[in-house]
Each structure stands twice: as C-alpha cells, then as structure tokens.
A and B are shown apart, each in its own frame.
Chain A
Amino acid sequence: DIVMTQSPDSLAVSLGERATINCKSSQSVLYTSNKKNYLAWYQQKPGQPPKLLIYWASTRESGVPDRFSGSGSGTDFTLTISSLQAEDVAVYYCQQYYNTPLTFGGGTKVEIK
C-alpha cells in the first residue's frame, strides 16, 4: 500500500497569511507515461463531508477559489492557501490514486491564529 504522510498535524495561521500543508507518499505517484501525478486534495469542514479541491496534484476543481493551489511531483506535494480566510478553517487531506488500495493522508487541521 502507498502510505501518505501529512505534516504538520495542525497549524494556526493569521487571517490573510499563507498556510502550507505537506503530503509525502511512500512511493512515487507520478505516472511516467503521461507525466501526471495521481494525487488529490480535499477540504473537510466540521460536520461536513470532504470536498474535492484539487486533482492531478495541481488542477483546481471548478468553483474552488484560486487562493488554493497544489504543487509538487513524485513523492512530495504541497497544498497552499495563499491568503487564509475564516471559511478555510477545516481539515485537509491528500489522497493518492496511483493504485489501489486508494489511500489518504492523516489530515492537517488548519485554524485561525
């Protein structure tokens, strides 16, 4: 199984400041034939289901604000919130879909400082 490790477990950021979440996979999720990274990011607010933010490591889902961006390749990935808003308080998860079993990171809780 591909193990997904997120860091930090939690972070507190001031409104308007940048939040950076890291996700590391135990093996590369870059498919060399199409040069795509098989990684997605989700946002889960309290009491709600996860919401897809990003797929292919850096493609924003329709309707997702452009302050959310994904980067990285191979085994190391980052989700960046460029200017934290109050509504961004949530737990964020990465997920690899390079192969089954599909696996998620443990989550990173983002709070307001």
Chain B
Amino acid sequence: QLQLQESGPGLVKSSETLSLTCTVSGGSITSGSYYWGWVRQPPGKGLEWIGIIHDTGRTSYKPSLKSRLTISVDTSKNQFSLKLSSVTAADTAVYYCARHSGIGGTTTGWFDPWGQGTLVTVSS
C-alpha cells in the first residue's frame, strides 16, 4: 500500500532554512488528481496545514507562510520537498507529509495516508 516517509535534519538553527523531503513508496507520485502536502503539529498542539503540490508543479500555500515557503516535486525520485526559510522557535513542530485527495483535480480535499512525521526543533 502507499507509504510516505519524511526525512531531513531534526535540528535547525534560528534564521536558517528548514528542509524536508517526503519519499513516496508503493505508488506513483504522478497519479492523476492527487496532490501531495505538508502538515505540521507543534509539540502538544493541533494540526496546521502548510501547503500542497501537484506533480505538475501547481502549488497552494498557507498565506501566512507563503513568503518563506517553497514546496517542490521530483517525479523521477517519487519525492516532494519542503523548504521553510528564516525559521524561528515557532516553527518547531512535527512535520507530516501526506497525500491530498485533490477533489476533481482542485486544491480542496482531505489527507490520507500520512507519513509517521519528523520532529524539527529550531534552536537559537
């Protein structure tokens, strides 16, 4: 079945760039209407949508993160990636990648399945 796995540094210094990659296995990232997305969860808190990308490169970002955020896709590696620049302690969170249902090829939809998540801590 489809599986997603996040990878990247667990510790990032304040003001630097957080970079994560999600590797998709058990299926192709170029599978029609699906998007691929990132959601984060600060320790002990709720879920926050970050953004999504289609294999064509079309993206949708959370507006408050847009100026610092880049999500990209590498179809040859069946991966998609997140880069968040100028990080602060507020960006400390577990970062999840997930497949987005992309209803009718649009940016609306739910997330399923999810990766296990990776904790990224921003240090000063």
Contacts and interface: CB of A to CB of B under 8 A. Distances in A.
A97 B46 contact: no
Contacts, number: 55
B110 A101 contact: no
Contact of B114 (A40, A49, A100, A105): A49
A38 to B, nearest CB: 6
A95 B46 contact: no
A102 B49 contact: yes
Interface residues of B, number: 23
Contact of B115 (A40, A49, A61, A98): A49
Contact of B108 (A50, A97, A104): A97
Given A104-B47, A104-B48, A52 B109 contact: no
Interface of B: 39, 46-49, 60, 62-63, 96, 98, 101, 103, 107-117
B111 A52 contact: yes
5 closest pairs, A vs B, by CB? Answer: A49-B114, A52-B112, A40-B110, A102-B49, A104-B47
Contacts of A100: 60, 107-108
The majority secondary structure among interface residues of chain A is loop
A93 interface: yes
B109 A50 contact: no
Given A49-B96, A100-B60, 10 more contacts: A48-B116, A49-B117, A55-B110, A93-B46, A98-B108, A100-B107, A102-B49, A103-B49, A104-B47, A105-B46
A79 B119 CA distance: 29
Contacts of B48: 104
